[in-house]
Amino acid sequence: MKVLMISKACYVATYRRKLEELAAYPDIELTLIVPPYWLLGKGRALLESGYDQGYHIIIDNPRFNGKHHFHYYPHLQKYMQAIRPDILHIDEEPYNLVAWHALRVGQRLGAKTIFFTWQNIYHHYPPPLSFFESYAFRHAHAAIAGSQEAAGVLRAKGYFRPLFVIPQFGIDPQLYEGAAPREPRLSGPLRIGYVGRLVTEKGIPILLQAVAGLEGDWELRLLGDGPLREESEREALKLGIEKRTIFLGSVPSTKVAQHLGELDVLVLPSITRPRWKEQFGRVLVEAMACGIPVIGSDSGEIPHVIGDAGLIFREGEAIHLRQQLQLLITDIALRRQLAQRGRERLQAHFTQKKVAADTHKVYEMICETQSADLEQP
């Protein structure tokens, strides 16, 4: 079967490992449309090299690059006419212009269409987003939700066609072989890490407050950048922990494993906002791949991702997070146990191979199902 995937997220090299796994299936001929960069504020996130084996890549700059809701690919029909895909996999939210435009083109050329969603909060969108979403619900042949909560939102909003719960991307364990498995360090400070954007909803102030009251030897490493960096540096100084807090800035996705491998525990302290809650927490499974124990808040999908392979704290409660961290400072056996559980959970649910296999099953089902059987009741 011929598959054409549209995904701005795939400018990240490691995400495209899933496409290599998909392309390895003998019945799949896969083509990806991806932008040469994605505008983030005043900067550009450039298309990273690598992970391009076994499938075709079309690099095309979308109109309104950087506009999540309103970008689209004006040359899509030309690509579709040349490829004639059986499946058009729209790796975008259903309420965005790119999804509506792709669905229209897919309809005209007879492709089966799939959209993806992470949206785990029920929103009533204003026009034209509400129109785009309604159109997708009526005309897409199937949907993939990245989490159980996102699937629940789709059903609550009236989407009744085939729906599958599969993470957007998995993890390639080979990237982390140098970091795991390993025994917990028995000397030196507990290296506590955070990886991600430095923004309020990720709970950075809570993390700083939590570590400020920790007993024992510890060090905090924050990998990433964002609008909260300067404020966080001032807060660390105010709390008197500036000598134990290291701001490392951003690194390419292919370098994250190296930094994770130097940690003893990874914390994701996300905080739910009225229009946002944690949709997955990919860094949690990256840490699991490195044999790093994880601690996460109970925001959104985090508890479902961690399962029994880490510790959970009540979001926004620095004292509860501090208590969980204190456990790992003093209990080496617990750190060893959580690391092992994390590796097992990763292999069972979150590898790129597993995500690709589940996605391939969706393709097979959609291709084998008659369009009339996919109509809404």
Instruction: Give the model's pLDDT for residue 115.
Output: 98
Given the structure tokens 């950048």, which residue do they identify? 225
CATH class of residue range 2-170+351-374: alpha beta
Instruction: Give the model's pLDDT for residue 174.
Output: 82
Note the pLDDT tens digit of each residue in 233-255. 999 999 999 999 999 999 887 78
Name the band, by pLDDT with cuts 50, 70 and 90, for residue 376: very low
pLDDT surpassing 80 at residue 5: yes
Instruction: Give the model's pLDDT for residue 370.
Output: 64
Residues 292-306, mean pLDDT to the nearest whole number: 96
Q: Give the separation between CA 288 and CA 284, rounded to whole angstroms.
A: 6
Note the pLDDT tens digit of each residue in 20-40. 999 999 999 999 999 999 998
Residues 150-161, mean pLDDT to the nearest whole number: 96
CA dihedral sign, ordered 278, 283, 286, 292: negative
Is-same-fold flag (2-170+351-374; 173-349)?
Answer: yes
Give burial (CB, 10 Å; 0-12/13-18/19+) of 53: exposed
Residues 299-326, mean pLDDT to the nearest whole number: 96
pLDDT surpassing 80 at residue 305: yes
Residues 215-233, mean pLDDT to the nearest whole number: 96
Residues 136-155, mean pLDDT to the nearest whole number: 96
Name the band, by pLDDT with cuts 50, 70 and 90, for residue 180: low
Q: pTM value?
A: 0.85
Residues 121-125, mean pLDDT to the nearest whole number: 94
Please state, in angstroms and as integers, the Cα–Cα distance from residue 52 to each residue in 32, 44, 60, 149, following that order. 10, 21, 16, 32
Mean pLDDT of the chain: 93
pLDDT surpassing 90 at residue 54: yes
CATH architecture of 173-349: 3-Layer(aba) Sandwich (3.40)
Domains of the chain: which residue ranges? 2-170+351-374, 173-349
Name the band, by pLDDT with cuts 50, 70 and 90, for residue 89: very high
pLDDT surpassing 70 at residue 182: no
pLDDT surpassing 60 at residue 373: no
Residues 215-237, mean pLDDT to the nearest whole number: 96
Q: Which of 2-16, 146-160, 185-199 has the lowest mean pLDDT?
A: 185-199
Structure tokens at 148: 């159980």
> Do 293 and 328 contact (CB within 8 A), yes or no?
yes
pLDDT surpassing 50 at residue 227: yes
Instruction: Give the model's pLDDT for residue 257.
Output: 85
Instruction: Give the model's pLDDT for residue 210.
Output: 98
Residues 301-305, mean pLDDT to the nearest whole number: 94
